[in-house]
Amino acid sequence: MDIHEFQAKDMLKRFGVQVPRGGIAYSPEQAVYRASELSGDKWVVKAQIHSGARGKAGGVKICKSEKEISEAASWMLGRMLVTHQTGPQGKMVSRLYVEEATDIAQEIYLGFVMDRKEERVVVVASGQGGMEIEEISSQEPESIIRSVVDPAVGMQSFQAREIAFSLGLDAALIPQAVKTIIGCYKMMEETDANMVEINPLVVTGSGEIMALDAKVSFDDNALFRRPEISELRDKSQEDPRETFASDRGLSYIGLEGEIGCIVNGAGLAMATLDMIKMAGGEPANFLDVGGGASPDRVLMSFQAVLNDPNVEAILVNIFAGINRCDWIAEGVIRAVKELELTMPLVVRLSGTNVEEGKRLIAESGLPIHTAETLADAADLVVRAWSDIKSNSAKGAA
C-alpha cells in the first residue's frame, strides 16, 4: 500500500526527520490560505498522487505570488496527471500540498528497501539526488552506496555515520545525517513499511538536512495489525480492478491484454502468463486465487477478472494440492451461470479430485472448453480469442 507525500512526511517528522513546513489544500482558495499561513515569499505547490516524476508532468510548481498559487492549483486540481509511472491513463489530482520553498545547497538520494535476496533491509544512497534511482545507477553508478542492516541489532550509529561520510557531507552535518538515517530506519521497522524513499534529501543553504520529497510503501500483509496505517489508504489512486480484488483477499495485478487468467499459486500464474504470450496472446491480469479456494472464492475471481472491460476470453489453470478440483469446477459453473458468461472459457484442472472436477464440467452442459496441459490450454484460449478478433474485423468491414 502506498501513501501520499504529505502523509509520508508527517510520519517521518514523528521519527525525527526534518521536513519543510506545509499544509494540505483541496481548492485554489485553500492553497492560497495555506501559503499565507506559512508566510514567506516563495512556495511550492505539489499535486498529491501516488507517483514519482510529478515535476516533469507539471505536478510541482514553484510560486512567488498568490496569483501564481491560485493558477497552479486551478490547473492541477481535477486533472488526470500522466507520468511515466502512472501509465497513459494518469491519476486524478484531488488534493495539493503547499509548502515553503527551500534554499537547496545539495541534493541526496536516500532509500530503504526490503531486499528479498539479502532477507534484510538495504540502504541505497547517492550524492546525486533529484533523479530516479534507475537514472542514477545508469548515469552515476559509482555514486551508489549500499549498506545492509543486520536485523538482530538494527541500524547502528556507526553504520549511519559510514553512510553519511560516503555521501561526502560536511563533517558538521554528520550528526543531522545520522539522526535522519536512523529515523528513517526506525520508521520502516516500526510501521511495517517495505520501502522508504527520500528523493531528494537536501542540505539547505542554512545547513539543515531536510526531506524534500518522500515515498513510502507498506506491506499489505501487515496492515491487519496497523489500523492507523490502513486509514491512510487512498483507493482513488489505485487501479479499481486491483482494489476490488484486494478488498476480497485476492492477489491481482492488472495488465494490458485481453485474456483473463485465474490460477492458483504465484509461480504457476507467472508460467501461465508466459504460455499465453508464447501462444500469441496477451494476458489481461495476474490473479492467484490462493489455496483452499471455495466455489464462492472462484466466483469472486471471475468477477475481478470481468471488471476489466478489455477481457475477451478467460483461462482457468489449477494445479490442486490444498485446492480441490471439484470445488474449482463448482465455482466455474456458478460463475458461467450467475454472471451469464458468453466469452470463450478454457479450464485446465490437475491434482486433487481432478476426475470429479472434470465430470462436473462435462455434465454441466455449459460451453466450457477443457484442456489436459497448460500448453494446450494456452493454445486453445488464444485461438478462441483470435477467432473473436477475426469475426469482429469481418463484421466491421
Catalytic pick among 97, 109, 185, 252: 109
Catalytic pick among 197, 242, 258, 312: 197
Question: Cα–Cα distance between 284 and 42 in angstroms, integer?
Answer: 46
Q: Where are the alpha helices (DSSP H) in 102-258?
A: 133-139, 157-166, 174-191, 227-230, 240-246
Is 228 one of the annotated binding-site residues? no
> Do 252 and 283 contact (CB within 8 A), yes or no?
no
The count of residues in the chain is: 397
> Do 26 and 98 contact (CB within 8 A), yes or no?
no
Question: Cα–Cα distance between 254 and 283 in angstroms, integer?
Answer: 9
Query: Is 109 a catalytic site residue?
Result: yes
Is 317 one of the annotated binding-site residues? no
The residue among 25, 60, 65 whose CA lies nearest residue 45 is 60
| DSSP code for 97 | E
CA dihedral of residues 84, 87, 88, 93 (deg, nearest 10): -90
DSSP string over 99-151: EE---EEEEEEEEEEEETTTTEEEEEEES--SS-HHHHHHH-GGG-EEEEEPT
Say how many C-beta atoms besides its own lie within 10 A of residue 291's C-beta: 11
Is 213 one of the annotated binding-site residues? yes
Is 132 one of the annotated binding-site residues? no
> Do 160 and 182 contact (CB within 8 A), yes or no?
yes
| Coil vs helix vs strand at 343 | coil
How distant is the alpha carbon of residue 301 from its chain centre? 20
Is 199 one of the annotated binding-site residues? yes
Is 391 one of the annotated binding-site residues? no
Is 107 one of the annotated binding-site residues? yes
Q: Which residues are annotated as a binding site for Mg(2+)?
A: 199, 213
Catalytic residue numbers? 109, 197
Q: Which residues are annotated as a binding site?
A: 46, 99, 102, 107, 199, 213, 264
Q: Which residues are annotated as a binding site for substrate?
A: 264
